[in-house]
C-alpha cells in the first residue's frame, strides 16, 4: 500500500496531526509532502503535485486513489478492515 499525505506547514495542523498519528498507530508506512514555507502553496502547484485539484489540505492519496481528509481516511481504513469502529488497529485486537 503506497500512502502519500499532503499537508500544509501551518494550516489545519490538528487534522494533519490526527492523520499522521492514525497511520503510525496502524503501523502503515507513508510519505509526506509539505506545502507552505519551503514549498509553494499555490493551488496550481498543489494540484500538479497531488495529481488533481484539492479543496484543502491535509489530503491523503493511497495507491493513486484520492481518499481525502481525516474522516475520509478513517472510513477508508474501516472498509479495508485495518481499523475498527473505535478507530483501533485490528492487529492490536488479534494480538490480545
H or E, element range at 67: strand 65-68
Enumerate helices (H) and strands (E) in the chain, giving the number of each. Answer: 4, 4
- pLDDT, tens digit, 9 for 90 and up, residues 52-95: 888 788 999 999 999 999 999 999 999 999 999 888 888 766 65
Which residues are bridge partners to 35 per DSSP?
8
Provide the grid cell at 7. 499537508
Given a contact cutoff of 8 angstroms between Cβ atoms, the answer to whether 27 and 89 are in contact is yes
What residue has cell string 503535485? 49
The chain-wide mean pLDDT, for the chain, equals 87
pTM value is: 0.85
The domain total for the chain is 1
Q: For position 37, which CATH number holds? A: 3.40.30.10
- Give residue 71's pLDDT: 94
* Residue 7, domain extent: 3-94
Amino acid at each position: 500500500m503506497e500512502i502519500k499525505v499532503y499537508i500544509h506547514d501551518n494550516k489545519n495542523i490538528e487534522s494533519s496531526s490526527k492523520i499522521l498519528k492514525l497511520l503510525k498507530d496502524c503501523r502503515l508506512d507513508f510519505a509526506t509532502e509539505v506545502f507552505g514555507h519551503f514549498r509553494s502553496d499555490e493551488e496550481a502547484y498543489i494540484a500538479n503535485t497531488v495529481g488533481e485539484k484539492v479543496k484543502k489540505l491535509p489530503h491523503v492519496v493511497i495507491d493513486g486513489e484520492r481518499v481525502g481528509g481525516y474522516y475520509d481516511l478513517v472510513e477508508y481504513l474501516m472498509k479495508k478492515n485495518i481499523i475498527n469502529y473505535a478507530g483501533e488497529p485490528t492487529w492490536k485486537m488479534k494480538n490480545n
